[in-house]
Amino acid sequence: MTVTLAIGTSKGAFFLRSDDRHNWTLAEPAFPGWKVTAFNRTPSGEYLLATASNWFGAALHRSTDLNEWEQVVTGPGWPEGSVRPLTQIWTLASIGQRTYAGVDEAGLFVSDDDGETWHSVEALNEHATRSSWEPGLGGLCAHHVVADPGNPKRMWVGISAVGVFRTDDGGRSWQPRNSGVTGPIDESAGTGWCVHGLTLDPEHPERLWRQEHTGVYRSADAGDSWERIETGLPASFGFPMVRDHRSGRLFIAPLRSDEFRLPVGGRLRIFRSDNQGDTWMESGAGLPDQTYTTVLRGAMVADQLNPGGVYFGTTGGAVYGSADNGHAWDRLPGTFPRIMSLQVFAD
């Protein structure tokens, strides 16, 4: 089996390939000079890659081989005449036969033809709370889409700095689901929560976890309520929230507070939980000290193989991987521009 680690950076896409998850080969970059903000594989196996640019806007590209790419003419985004700009495609997620794109300026778009054409999820994009949506430091962005694999009509979307919304009817209606999460001083608008990372247990999809601006939380009731879970953590701020589904192990990358946003004490560390988030511990060995780079929300991924592999990229351009579910970490080859997105494909 060949594992391809797709690395999206502020200046291009890079691909590391390995047959054993220990020895990696770096391929030629794609889209040099472009921000590469998300990757995905559609239900039929086509690859998607999202680009953005401070000069030339955002776009979506398709490929059958991660080598030759063709830009989608009318990708996910706001229609001609809209006052909302498309600045970045933050996430791509295939759920059943559909593929979703979460974007900035915040919106959710869906494709039923492998990414060739897209339409707006109007009930979310024109939600009754829309006028109260405000951006976070990273923008006003829809950055996570997760779904109940047994019930594709139930989905959750994370939007910053708005919160988590859930649909139970396939996207026809959406409800904010942030109760119990420390958020805005005035919660009356129903928005203002700054979710950073979001994942669920596909076997028990009523269980969700979120890395929030204000801390680490879980829900046992599909997001109806949340509780803080930070025992053992050196800090509760951070961005990614990743789960190895086979073992149930959770991974996060704590940072020293929203004021500083640095690894605590200069120790770049991943923390894991083996008990649904009851407690956390430092995850394995091999990560560096005296390191002051961070892990962005889209820059950590689990490969869902057996044993689980976990990978993360830093704002300093380093990629680390663990082929044994977070026990031993290796620095993978290459030093890249700021890493914005990471995805893994196994064939």
Residues that bind other proteins (CB under 8 A): 31-34, 53-59, 61, 69, 71-73, 75, 77-86
C-beta of 314: minimal distance to other proteins in Å?
24
Nearer to other proteins, 16 or 58 (CB): 58
C-beta of 88: minimal distance to other proteins in Å?
13
Nearer to other proteins, 47 or 312 (CB): 47
Nearer to other proteins, 47 or 271 (CB): 47
Q: Which has the closest alpha carbon to 46: 97, 102, 95, 114?
A: 114
C-beta of 295: minimal distance to other proteins in Å?
26
C-beta of 268: minimal distance to other proteins in Å?
29
C-beta of 187: minimal distance to other proteins in Å?
32
Peptide bond into 30 cis (omega under 30): no
283 vs 9, 11, 149, CA distance in Å? 25, 30, 28
Nearer to other proteins, 61 or 213 (CB): 61
Nearer to other proteins, 55 or 347 (CB): 55
Token code pair at residue 199: 């994942």
Pair type for strands 208-212 and 195-200: antiparallel
C-beta of 38: minimal distance to other proteins in Å?
16
Tell me phi and psi for residue 131, to 5 degrees: -65, -15
Q: According to the 3-state scheme, what is the secondary structure of the chain?
A: CCEEEEEEECCEEEEEEECCCCCCEECCCECCCCEEEEEEECCCCCEEEEEECCCCCCEEEEECCCCCCEECCCCCCCCCCCCCCCCEEEEEEEECCEEEEEEECCEEEEECCCCCCCEECHHHHCCCCHHHCCCECCECEEEEEEEECCEEEEEEEEEECCEEEEECCCCCCCEECCCCCCCCCCCCCCCCCCEEEEEECCCCCCCEEEEECCEEEEECCCCCCCEECCCCCCCCEEEEEEEECCCCEEEEEEEEHHHHCECHHHCCCCEEECCCCCCCEECCECCCCCCCCCCCCCCEEECCCCCCCEEEECCCCCEEEECCCCCECEECCCCCCCEEEEEEEEC
Nearer to other proteins, 85 or 265 (CB): 85
C-beta of 317: minimal distance to other proteins in Å?
20
Nearer to other proteins, 85 or 96 (CB): 85
C-beta of 32: minimal distance to other proteins in Å?
8
Nearer to other proteins, 37 or 314 (CB): 37
C-beta of 60: minimal distance to other proteins in Å?
10
Report the C-alpha gap between 42 and 40 in whole angstroms.
Answer: 6
Nearer to other proteins, 31 or 329 (CB): 31
The residue assigned the tokens 């109940």 is: 148
